[in-house]
Chain A
Amino acid sequence: MPKDNKGGFTRRRFLKVSATATAAASIAGNASVLHALAPGTANGAEIDTTGMEKKFSVCDMCFNKCGLIARVDKGKVVKLDPNPKVAKSRGLLCARGNAGIQRLYDPDRLKTPLLRKGARGEGKWQQISWEQALDLAAEKLLKIGEKYTRCGTLFMAGSDMQSKFVHRFAEAYGSYNILSHESNCLLSRNRAFLDTFGVMPMPDVLNAKYVLMPGSNRFEALVTPDSIDLMTAMRKDCKLVVLDPRYTKTAALAHEWHAIKPGTDLAFFLAVMHVIINEKLYDVPFVENQTYGFEQLKRHVQKYTPKWAERECDIPFCDITRIARELAAAKPAAIVYPGRRTSDYTDSTQIRRANAMINALLGNWDQPGGLVLPRKIHLGSIPFEAPFYEDNPDDRIDMGRSTMMFDTEGSFKHARDAVIEGKPYPVKGWVTYKTNPMQTGANRQKTIKMINKLDFMMSIDVTMSDTAWMADLVLPAATYLERMDPVSVQQGISSGPCLVTRDPVVKPLYESKSALWIIKQLAKRMDLGEHFDFTMKDYRKAQLKGMPEAEAALKNDGVYQVGGNYAGLHKGFKTLSKKVELYNQRYAKAGIDPMPVYRPPKRVPTNRFRMVVGRNAYITQGSTTNNPLLHELVPENSLWIHPDSAIKLGISQGDRVTVSSSVGKQNIRAYVTKKTRKDTVYMHSGFGVLSKGLRTVYGSGACIVEILEDKNDDISGNMAMHETVVTVRKI
């Protein structure tokens, strides 16, 4: 680990205790931690700290995979501590990471395979054996394959270290209808940056002097190491400017917050480019030598003056001009932050293209404090050859519904429409693994409609998520603390990349099984066993082939950390022009605006509101709200509404209101607050669940995707979740 990384081991061991005390396997701890397991033994009494084991793992409460050390007392996990050697996570564990113990010991864990008995979503289940469950699943999948081709089953796996085996199974089975969660999240950002630079850079927040953050909420939607690095940078001399219709905690802590009018981001960025270009504040050599289409861009932005933008986005022109100048003055250690979830508008790719283009004008490429390329670590694998099924259709079911989709990711929104329409071909099976589109995919009724078109739906999950609740067969998955996982590469710019993995901290509870075990059992029954003729140990060995030092580091430190400089990895722009495409030639050919063109958002009528999406640091969409520890922090969600708007509708603090859109309505309590614009309302995701198997959260709050209309980003097919206009009425 580089010496300058904060959170190193020495700082943690603040006392000079004897070498044996720090090196021994027994570590400090409280044997009576989990009050649910050992009630009434807490507090005050001197705690015996001997005899506990510590085991490395990585967190799974969101996608970040922060390093942790589990303290285990007689087979029970009593506490999850951060692993200070994992530079990516800077030796932290957030509230969700600390609450991970309750994912393991959640009384609502799925305990056995369950077969639906009543109607879909009715909640009548029969416990069946694994043998019965696997036989049934294999039979159903083979039958659908025969009747509708192998592409007649859709596979969807969430962000999980074993999802790759679900994908491998789908390919071996013969379906290329594989979805991830990403088309509800970040594909428009990836599209935009790839179509500008040809590669996907990452921001070096730690060394930045100026960060302009449009719509990202890094101090609540935590991304390691960016969230921590941003604070570290700010405590030095980095300025943070946040554009957000909502007063997020990132806005609260920023140097400047501008409550931009939703849907007008592009106006702001085009005006920023107008200033940077016309005042010649850009990096002249970079722009001249490394970009394509600067002259076109210069002409293109002439009409987009700051005064014009002020009327569109409700930000004074003098601020727009000043921010553009400040940003340019701080170049190249100045970043327009690329963001993560960008599933906002129908033109989100174009908005993020404008972000990428400003970064290019600043010449912040491949140097500290700017956009930098991640250092790659190449892992081995156990290759396989997917069989060819002659009767399969030509393409994914969702292809062609947007112009530039990712064929590896697809689009949940488009795939769902295709299943409902049965076009271009019928899809009658759905397998989900640890993903919850019933809580994350806009327009929940449409997801239900899709499910009702299916002959067979199978969900593998830890608890009875809303998605599992709709399935025909539910299989209990082992949590991250109970299983062996493959090695995974984790990228972080200032922290360097690292390898992490998981070994079981405790034995799987109940009858829960790992995804690989389930897949292998299915494969065996479906004559696909040859593609899974390996153990997890074999797989990991193949991944780490020729890297004995990595194997040792994973064992001793719980992480294999790769240091070294991160700037200077640039090997060329993989675009048509081999330059940064300010003017995108492929877009022009495909009939897409080659440079972002501003189109004003639809007007929100008086007394109606645009709904925006986001989250706090205690919620990972639909997967954590049933956690008893986190539920205590946020027992229900509420509708953020501005006092001036609330008063017009006769709504007082805490009143019950009905929020409705063209696709659905929900009842929820009002949170009257100046933390949102007068024309914008907001609620957290993950509430208003249908599943009675989530007993802690069931009956609390409202479900945002019941209200959100399903619009999509025109270019990438990514969901567009800020396009819904709602009515709010006091009950």
Chain B
Amino acid sequence: MKQMSKKYAIAVDARKCIDCKACMIACKVENGLPQGFWRNWIKDNDPNGGMHTQFQPGQCMQCDSPSCVSACPVGATFKGADGLVVIDPKKCIGCGNCVTACPYDARFRNPETAIADKCDFCHHRIKVGEEPACVETCPTRTRVFGDLNDPESEISKLLKSTKHIQIINPLINTRPNIYYTEQTALLNWPKEPTLPGNIHMSSQFWKGSS
């Protein structure tokens, strides 16, 4: 793969998340999402209550080997020059193949636009030097956003100094760009993507991570 000029990523310290859902409302307003649909989420490892609970935020993982891109029959979903997986609204036909192709359940079909929808790290904000809305608004700074190609960025330094892991279905590695501190509690939620029959995946896509 050719070297992208940027490699945007988010590092999440789920131990800090207080489940305040500021990130979800910020995203919803920033991106004008319809009622009932969200581009990001907070998972919970202990819905019944116990002695400790961890809340784990997430969103589109902006994978390096994105199954959604492979699943798109018209090339509407693609990896842009800055490494972000984006959707071209003019090309998308709303077929929904990418929705089921995502192992992280990060996509949905937007009923207002009738096309695929998902987090794009607030591409329009990044372009003018602002952080994604979810990152900026977070009270406890659970998410750290930045460019992994810049060794001086906060996230590059963070990933170097603190052990982080990726959340991957053991059968499929889409090489996600959201990193979690190794203490993150929820690991087994990704699902196996279903891809249209005629899609040929690259060999590395199906390579197990374990």
Interface of A toward B, CB cutoff 8 Å = 6-7, 11-17, 21-22, 27-30, 32-35, 38-47, 49, 78-82, 90-95, 97-99, 101, 219-220, 222, 227-228, 231-232, 235, 247, 249, 252-253, 257, 617-618, 628-630, 632-633, 673-675
Contacts and interface: CB of A to CB of B under 8 A. Distances in A.
B196 interface: no
B29 A79 contact: yes
Given A82-B136, A92-B137, A98 B22 contact: yes
A516 B64 CA distance: 57
Contacts of A28: 124-125, 127-130
B159 interface: no
B86 interface: yes
A22 B127 CA distance: 12
Interface of B: 13, 15-16, 18-22, 24-26, 28-36, 46, 48-53, 55, 86-89, 92, 110, 112-113, 115, 117, 120, 124-131, 133, 136-141, 145-147, 153-154
8 contacts: A13-B130, A17-B128, A41-B32, A79-B30, A95-B20, A219-B19, A249-B53, A633-B21
Given A29-B124, A49-B124, A249-B19, 5 more contacts: A33-B32, A81-B133, A228-B140, A633-B25, A675-B48
B34 to A, nearest CB: 6
A30 B30 contact: yes
B208 to A, nearest CB: 33
Contacts of A632: 35-36
B137 A81 contact: yes
A700 to B, nearest CB: 15
A21 B115 contact: no
Given A34-B29, A249-B19, A12 B126 contact: no
B3 to A, nearest CB: 19
Contact of B137 (A27, A47, A93, A674): A93
B89 A45 contact: yes
B49 to A, nearest CB: 4
A231 B129 CA distance: 27
Given A35-B34, A247-B49, A46 B29 contact: no
Chain A interface main SS type: loop
A11 B137 contact: no
A30 B123 CA distance: 10
A155 B142 CA distance: 43
Given A33-B32, A247-B49, A95 B22 contact: yes
B115 A49 contact: no
Given A79-B29, A632-B35, A673-B49, A14 B128 contact: no
Contacts of A628: 35
A94 B142 CA distance: 13
A44 B139 contact: no
B28 to A, nearest CB: 6
A38 B32 contact: yes
A81 B35 CA distance: 21
Contacts of B21: 95, 617-618, 633
Contact of B141 (A6, A33, A247): A6
Contacts of A16: 129
A15 B126 contact: yes
User: Looking at A99, A247, A253, which has the most chain B CB atoms within 10 Å of its CB?
Assistant: A253
A674 B49 contact: yes
A222 B20 contact: yes
Contacts of A633: 21, 24-25
A612 to B, nearest CB: 15
A228 B128 CA distance: 28
A36 to B, nearest CB: 9
A13 B129 contact: yes
Nearest to A674: B49
A91 B130 CA distance: 14
B110 to A, nearest CB: 6
Contacts of B120: 44
A95 B124 contact: no
A100 to B, nearest CB: 9
Given A95-B21, A235-B15, A43 B31 contact: yes
Contacts of A91: 136
A473 B48 CA distance: 47
Nearest to B46: A252
Contact of A93 (B22, B31, B50): B22
A45 B124 CA distance: 9
A14 B92 CA distance: 32
B112 A39 contact: yes
Contacts of B32: 30, 32-35, 38, 41-43
A317 B16 CA distance: 31
A574 B41 CA distance: 50
A222 B138 CA distance: 13
A629 B126 CA distance: 25
A21 B129 contact: yes
Nearest to B26: A98
A16 B150 CA distance: 11
A633 B29 CA distance: 14
B182 to A, nearest CB: 15
B31 A14 contact: no
Given A30-B32, A34-B29, A98-B25, A43 B110 contact: yes
The 9 closest A-B pairs by CB, nearest first: A42-B32, A17-B129, A675-B49, A252-B53, A44-B89, A92-B139, A28-B128, A98-B25, A47-B124
Nearest to B52: A252
A40 B113 contact: yes
Contacts of B138: 92
B31 A42 contact: yes
A242 to B, nearest CB: 11
A27 B128 contact: yes
Contacts of B51: 257
Nearest to B21: A95
A719 B19 CA distance: 29
A59 to B, nearest CB: 12
Contacts of B86: 44
Given A28-B124, A38-B32, A82-B136, A92 B22 contact: yes
A231 to B, nearest CB: 5
Contacts of B16: 231, 235
